[in-house]
Every structure is written in structure tokens, then in C-alpha cells.
Amino acid sequence: MREGARSAITISVLGLLLVAAALWGWSAATDPLPAKVDTPICVDRTVEAGTKVFAQDVTVSVYNAGIREGLAGRTMQLLTDDGFAEGNSGNVSARVDVVQIWTLEPQNPAVRLVASRLGPDVEIERRDGPGVGVAVVVGDGFRDLVDGRRSVAAQDDATICSPPVG
């Protein structure tokens, strides 16, 4: 084969490769970006009877039921400093004197653990709580956490809202 023909074939093949690469690059550049996957705040986890539940296993949501601004945020910070996972926070229209936990499962080990840190004035109100995890509702009379239990053993099989692993 003559040298000129070989050069023409080589340039043609390289040109085709350049066009194929340009088409692939354009296709990749114009594809939509992958959607952001929202990680849940907590996931339900089954705890067998006798299993100890620790603060890092429990997600807590805190709501302000008083007129003191920032009370829910300050209380959430105290709880996360104690090792609990952060859930939701905000205000509720109900009025609470000191502190309540709103739950349909008062004997849940997560509820008992959080209650031990809220002091002797904590009331457990049997009602559905807003947000995820253990719903703590603080009023103007709430001041600070107390040295509560480090862990609570589940008396029966229970489901707790724990931070996602990973």
C-alpha cells in the first residue's frame, strides 16, 4: 500500500474516533444530574426484650410550648450534647408548664430513657407526637437536663426510631 493511502486511512479512522468521542461527551454532558437522595432522619428499629437502649440509639424531636424564644433549640442542643440524635424542632400551639413527652407508647425504652434525662417534672402525655422519634414538648418552666440513666433495658419487644446507620 502506498504511503499516501495509509496516511489517508489513518486520518479517517482517527477522525471517526474523534466524532464518536465528541458525540459520547455531548450526550454525557447534557444528561440530567442524578437526583439527591434524602436520608431519613431516623429509621424504625426493633429492639428485643432485655436489650439496652443508649442515647445514641434514640432520635428526639423538641417543640416549644411556651413563650420563651429559642427554648426548643436550646433543649435540642442539650439533648444532642448528651448523645441523642437530632430530629425535628419547632413550636406547638399547646401550652405546657414544664416538660412533657407526647407518645402513644409510654413504656417504650426510648421514651423512658429520654424521660430520665428531663427531670422529676416530666409528664408523659398519651397522645401522638409531632415529628419523628421521641417528641419532647418544653414549656417556660423547663430549665435544664438532669443526670439520668445511661441506658434503659427494653421490658418487651419494642420499636424505636434510631438514626440511620451509614
Q: Residue range 126-153: average pLDDT?
A: 92
Question: Distances in Å between the alpha carbon of 35 and those of 28, 105, 164, 166?
Answer: 16, 37, 20, 19
Question: Distances in Å between the alpha carbon of 10 and those of 1, 2, 17, 20?
Answer: 13, 13, 11, 15
More confident residue, 110 or 2: 110
Specify the pLDDT at position 35: 77
Nearest 5°: the CA angle 104, 108, 111 is 85
Q: Residue range 131-155: average pLDDT?
A: 93
Burial of 115: CB neighbours in 10 Å, binned 0-12, 13-18, 19+: buried
Give the pLDDT band of residue 166 (cuts 50, 70, 90): low
Whether the CB-CB separation of 57 and 154 falls below 8 Å is answered with: no
Specify the pLDDT at position 165: 79
- Please give the single-letter amino acid code of residue 141: G
pLDDT tens, residue by residue, 46-61: 999 999 999 999 999 9
Whether the CB-CB separation of 158 and 47 falls below 8 Å is answered with: yes
Domain boundaries, the chain: 1-31, 43-162
Supply the pTM of this predicted model.
0.76
Report H helices in the chain.
3-30, 71-81, 109-117
pLDDT tens, residue by residue, 19-73: 999 999 888 888 888 777 778 888 999 999 999 999 999 999 999 998 888 999 9
Q: Average pLDDT over the chain, rounded to whole?
A: 91
